[in-house]
Amino acid sequence: MSLSTMGEQEPKEIRVFAPATVANVASGYDVLGFAIDEPGDEVVVRYSDKPGLRITAITGDGGKLPKTVEGNTAGVSAQDLLRHLGKSDVGIEMEIHKKMPFGSGLGSSAASAVAGVYAVNVLLGEPLTKKQLLPFAMTGEASADGAYHADNVGPSLLGGIIVIRSNQELDISELPVPENLWAAVVHPDIEILTKVAREILPAEISISTATQQMGNLGGFICGLYEEDYSLIGRSLHDVIAEPFRQKLIPEFYKAKQEALSHGALGFSISGAGPSVFALCEGEKNAQKVASAIANVFNDNNLTNQIHVSRINQQGVHVVNN
């Protein structure tokens, strides 16, 4: 499909931004996630005279990512959509601009997958809704780490706080977001691979542990609906993954103690780590908590980045060039 054959109203180039996400959210291992304003990934797509999807440029990846469509989460998700729509021969060029670190626990591969499929969908005139794009974004995400869970992809795509009833069926729901709920996210400059973080978890847990986690998950969801910040805080406890993964993050429990003593509602690991997060009531509290966490890492000569954000309720979206 060449530019000369396109309708006059069709856009020649689309640029989209997909936000980073915090997965698990303490009490919801593999079933909870929320989006933050930044960082995130950008993808640019445009029509081309050459048939098929091609990745023509990647920036911000330090040369780590392949330009082959089948080897890149953005390419895989977009190609899966094109195949579904019967448009695999449409000529499309894609650029990927990585603006978040790898192995950060902030859903880097998910953001690329979401941005890729959403950009192509918009370029084609939005034949599918955002929610209908979820399976294609999941295909891209799964190509990166082999895991099939929507706690990063879901919120990056839709925004807000997402609960997943079933990852296999991709049965997800959007939860209410209290008006004054803020996130303080700190990323220490170390890399933890999701595969490694999963391997250190036990294959089985006790009934008492499962019951405790279910109670915390239920309490967290009720706290969101009731805008009960105290209940949200009491429910932000992870008894499944955090006890094992915390050893991968230097001074984790000291950072947690500092966050709570400075007013955080709760504190835990973002996804597989090493990023950590705290939920807070109000921006001022979130800024104070973020600084307290960062100071712990600074005291241990560990450089870090702070991201203080409301819960991003927009998700992936088109941005101006």
pLDDT of amino acid 144: 78
**Residues above pLDDT 90, as percent of the chain:** 88
Which tens digit of pLDDT belongs to each residue from 178-195?
999 999 999 999 988 878
**Residue 1 predicted with pLDDT over 50:** no
238 Cβ contact list (under 8 Å, min separation 6): 24, 26, 27, 29, 213, 216, 268, 269
Catalytic residue, chosen from 141, 242, 258, 281, is 141
pLDDT of amino acid 321: 64
pTM assigned to the model = 0.93
Which tens digit of pLDDT belongs to each residue from 197-241?
889 999 999 999 999 999 999 999 999 999 999 999 999 999 999
pLDDT of amino acid 193: 80
pLDDT of amino acid 83: 97
Closest CA to 188 of 244, 270, 267: 270
Mean pLDDT of the chain: 94
- Residue 11: band (very low, low, confident or very high) from pLDDT cuts 50, 70, 90: low
Q: Does the annotation mark 59 as catalytic?
A: no
Type of residue numbered 277: F
Measured between its terminal Cα atoms, the distance across the chain in Å is 23
**Residue 9 predicted with pLDDT over 90:** no
**Residue 6 predicted with pLDDT over 50:** no
Catalytic residue, chosen from 21, 73, 194, 242, is 194
Which tens digit of pLDDT belongs to each residue from 270-295?
999 999 999 999 999 999 999 999 99
Mean pLDDT of 162-171: 95
CA distances from 83 to 48, 52, 157, 250, 308 (A): 17, 10, 20, 44, 39
Q: Does the annotation mark 211 as catalytic?
A: no
> Cβ(28)–Cβ(220) under 8 Å?
yes
pLDDT of amino acid 52: 97
- Residue 10: band (very low, low, confident or very high) from pLDDT cuts 50, 70, 90: low
**Residue 2 predicted with pLDDT over 60:** no
**Residue 109 predicted with pLDDT over 80:** yes
**Residues above pLDDT 70, as percent of the chain:** 96
Which tens digit of pLDDT belongs to each residue from 55-102?
999 999 888 898 999 999 999 999 999 999 999 999 999 999 999 988
